Amino acid sequence: MIKHLLAYHISPTKLTTQDLLNKPLKTCLPTLIHHQTLSITKIANYPNWAKCNKKQVLEINNVLITHPDLFLQQSVTIHCVAGSFAWYDHRQERITLPYCKPDRVELGFIKNKEEWGRVIKFLSSYGFLSFAIGLNSVTDGIVKEYPDLDSVTIFMPRNVALMAMSSSSLLDKFMRFHMVVQRHSFKQLAGLPRGASLSTLVRGKHVDITYNSRVSQVMSINGVVITTPDLFVSKNFVVHGIARALNMDELSIMSR
């Protein structure tokens, strides 16, 4: 887990202070964790750092760079920051990585319903009609609420009685809780440590990797085993089949 946290604080691109100051606000910066990026959240472009008088000049993930360009040599730059870029829950031994939303983005796949349609058609054709109907019912809301979303991972339970749910609000939260921000193939998930958190499309809610064995290639999300990894894979989507639905107790309370 410490290795995972450290990798999130390292970018494969050399970025000096001037490089960072020249980038627009909300630029997403790559890290050594695939599909996990940092965000430039505050810039005050002074001509000389010595004149800043301890004012906030540059922040990454809302964390101030206190000693910029502490080390500069060939392809390596080290900056000292005021704190961690991610949140670590010591009690639950869980790391939560923020999601970078760029200020300027190209037309995202999420705005093109044809991408969603391909996934829905695939699920319908291969016997997952109930989940496909549920996914179709929430697509419009997701497109509206997440206009900058560029990829999604879906955890799909094979047998789930979606039509028996008590309200459309509960169905909406159920579907969103089974989708996480960014595309994570099974191989990419296997590279994450036990306890790593993935942000779902329910605001403020996440799922955790609760078991991960590279030897047996068994992985579970919130205690539910991934039974059919990489069931559907495209540039922007990955669908993993899971043994059963994720626990809905907390979401049921939210919907009342």
Which pTM was predicted?
Answer: 0.59
Closest CA to 87 of 8, 148, 200, 183: 8
Report whether pLDDT(242) > 50: yes
pLDDT for residue 126: 86
Residues 211, 224 contacting (CB under 8 angstroms): no
- Percent of the chain at pLDDT > 70 equals 79
For the chain, give the mean pLDDT.
81
Residue range 109-254, CATH number: 2.30.180.10
Residues 6 or more apart whose CB falls under 8 angstroms from that of 168 comprise 137
154 three-class SS: strand
The model's pLDDT over 4-51, given as tens digits with 9 standing for 90+, comes to 778 889 988 888 888 888 788 888 888 887 668 888 888 765 444 444
d(CA 88, CA 94): 6
45 three-class SS: coil
The model's pLDDT over 118-168, given as tens digits with 9 standing for 90+, comes to 899 999 888 888 899 999 999 989 988 887 788 899 999 987 777 556 578
d(CA 16, CA 81): 14
Amino acid at 20: L
Domain map (residue ranges) of the chain: 2-85, 109-254
Residues 135, 116 contacting (CB under 8 angstroms): yes
pLDDT for residue 105: 42
